[in-house]
Amino acid sequence: MGKKLTITMTNRPPVTVDTDAWPIVARADDYDGGTRTVYRLTVRQHADGRAVVYGVCEAGGGGQYVGFRARRAGVLAAGGIIDAIHRVCETCGLGGAMAELCIASLPAEELT
């Protein structure tokens, strides 16, 4: 059994997942040196197909301006992973570039 991870969700209580049973399938990270802000967007997927997408905008190691508040969001990807990525980015203020980076890191779809 893997490490337990509690994920902040949007409009519902947090969820806890086993990191072995819910591996990361896509991720995008960025850092703004000017404001010392860290941006993270992660997709975890269970073998049964369920997926959770979550993101955070938080202060980096160098501190942050007075009044800064971290933003967190998470959704269960019932309607599709890509839609969930865009919803989390919008809620956290991560922007479209982060969404595209995360989408590009998803496993490739094989066409025949």
**What's the pTM value of the predicted model, to 2 decimals?**
0.87
Residue 3 has pLDDT above 90, yes or no: yes
The CA-based angle 98-76-59, given to 5 degrees, is: 40
What is the sign of the dihedral through the CA atoms of 105, 10, 52 and 16? positive
pLDDT tens digits for 28-50?
988 776 667 788 999 999 999 99
Residue 82: strand, helix, or coil: helix
